[in-house]
Structure 1
Amino acid sequence: MPGRSGQEWIRLSMRTPGILIFGMVLSPCGWILDLTATVAPNWRTLQNLPNTASDQFIQQGIWTICQASTISTVQQCNLQDSAYFSNQVIVVAQGLMVASLIVTLIGLAVAIPGVRCWKDHPNWLVAGLGGVLIFLSGVMTIIPIAWYTHILKNVTTVTTGVTVNVGYCIILGYIGGIFEVLAGLVMFIGICRCCGGKNRGETRVEEVTSRYNRQRPPPRRVDVPRMNRVPSSVSSSVPYSKDSLDDDVSFPRAKSPAPRSVNTSYSGRPYDADL
């Protein structure tokens, strides 16, 4: 990893950086397409063959040649054509396509330990080295396919009137090679910190600190109202009397009981219970 030049960097999450996810998803897809282009016998198609039925055509790959028909699904493979297989482009394509598949697997095996997401910081050096291998595997795929496409009609001598068309292996090989080139290139970018560390999902420590201080709201000021109590010695400005308060009621008051009179003089005859 390069020096930090006096600046501290921090990752705000444990997620794997997007460039590594992009590379680890795109490279296996390219490997599958390259594998199909390597083993399938359809790099080019020959139609309108002389002395054959009009519905039959020949599919030529880098490992085998098959004869098929437009009205039947039965194919006859392993046809012999020494002039075709001895061509230089076929020999180079066989070696480079197999090497590309092997190098892609090695690149993935190297990159996986550096992309583990349960670590705080990915091992960018290891992941970048895996990206270089994946990039080279894509280049090794594109070279023979581009060469074969360039001399498509001149790979072997073709009889006049025969139609030569590009097979689906060429298209799949181009797509797979481009996938691997992009995947390896993007993963290699992680070795160098660029775009302010966004390619690695990192941020400068001082930026995080200043952002936190800027987003933190200031303390809210709370105004507590003051209660002014009127001293008891100060008379109210509203004149009232006790009698007026008693009369100003909205409900009837209970009548007060009449005072009991106590008669202290008794002139009657006493009873026996009083003795």
Structure 2
Amino acid sequence: MPSGTFIHFRTPGILIFGMVLAPCGWVLDLTSTVAPNWRTIHSIPSESTDTFLQQGIWDICRASTTSRDIRCNQQDEPYFNQQIIEVAQGMMVASLILTIIGICVAIPGVRCWRERPNWTVAGLGGLLIFCSGVLTIIPIAWYTHIMNNITASSTDIRVGYCIVLGYIGGILEVLGGFVMFIGICRCCDGRNRSERVVADTGKSTRIQPAPRRITVPSIPRTSSASSVPYSRDSFGPTDFPRAKSNGNNSKASSSYGGQPYDADL
């Protein structure tokens, strides 16, 4: 590459969109996986009214609305033996791993160290991210559908915040992976996004507009003996009385033979 020259590469917007949504969705899915709050159970028999259980797919915690004391590692064999719990554990972990793999695959295709991004590699990474989002939504939707039918010691069952975070994270991954995958179809292959080499000359690369030509209309000029728009004869005869001249000024007035000016009138 010549000295003083740098490559100006612009990453396509759909790749930026996907690479931003995928990590955000992964963080939300991670929180949904490890946090023990897929559902909460209130009004537990033989317990005080302010005590409730927080059940996740890995742990169960006992908390209270009147204190901040939370006791986890609660035992509930019938709950953890449910099929949905085993499926959710496997699919959520698989989703987290698949998202990381998808991001690592998409990075070489998105990074602009070449003239154009590698749409095939970026699209393959987007497909993996899309599948990871699907793996998140499936167990969460299934758990929400049968949440009231899972073994519980009370009928007052409420949705936990992990369900909400899981839905949002899965949708973000699905959207991010989809917009990256459509690039593999060559419908947005960057033909109109070609990058160019810009010489670093220390000057602004902004193209200056050409000077605008202004045509000045010519004004016809008529020849005139005087620039004054009137003459002495245009005033007509005047009858202004003249002051009598003294004797001392008779010689001065007689020696002047010019025509009177307008100021003399």
Gaps of 5+ in 2: 1-7, 195-208, 219-223, 227-257
Change in Cα spacing, 1:42 to 1:220, as seen in structure 2 (3 Å) is same
Alpha-carbon shift at residue 189 of structure 1 (Å): 1.0
Change in Cα spacing, 1:146 to 1:237, as seen in structure 2 (3 Å) is closer
Alpha-carbon shift at residue 224 of structure 1 (Å): 11
Contact residue 12 and residue 193 of structure 2 kept, 8 A = no
Where does 1:1-275 land on structure 2 (aligned, <5 Å)?
A: 14-156=9-151, 158-159=152-153, 162-194=155-187, 197=188, 200=190, 202=192
Q: Which consecutive segments of 4 or more residues in structure 1 shift more than 6 A?
A: 216-219, 221-225
Alpha-carbon shift at residue 200 of structure 1 (Å): 3.5
Letter in 1 for 2:192: E
Deviations 1:212-252 (A, max 9, x none): xxxx9899597998xxxxxxxxxx989xxxxx9xxx9xxxx
Letter in 1 for 2:163: I
Alpha-carbon shift at residue 86 of structure 1 (Å): 0.8
Match of 1:254 in 2: none
Letter in 2 for 1:177: G
Change in Cα spacing, 1:223 to 1:66, as seen in structure 2 (3 Å) is closer
The percentage of aligned residue pairs carrying the same residue is 63
Q: Using the alignment, how far apart are the partners of 2:104 and 2:17 within structure 1?
A: 16
Contact residue 103 and residue 129 of structure 2 kept, 8 A = yes
Letter in 2 for 1:182: L
Alpha-carbon shift at residue 15 of structure 1 (Å): 1.5
Contact residue 17 and residue 201 of structure 1 kept, 8 A = no
TM superposition score normalised by structure 2: 0.70
Change in Cα spacing, 1:83 to 1:223, as seen in structure 2 (3 Å) is same
Residue 74 of structure 2 aligns to a residue whose secondary structure is coil
Gaps of 5+ in 1: 1-12, 205-215, 226-235, 239-243, 249-275
How many pairs align?
210
Please provide the CA RMSD for this pair: 3.1
Q: Using the alignment, how far apart are the partners of 1:221 and 1:51 within structure 2?
A: 94
Letter in 2 for 1:186: V
Match of 1:241 in 2: none
Contact residue 53 and residue 61 of structure 2 kept, 8 A = yes
Q: Using the alignment, how far apart are the partners of 2:37 and 2:121 within structure 1?
A: 37
Q: Using the alignment, how far apart are the partners of 1:82 and 1:163 within structure 2?
A: 20
Alpha-carbon shift at residue 192 of structure 1 (Å): 2.3
Residue 90 of structure 1 aligns to a residue whose secondary structure is helix
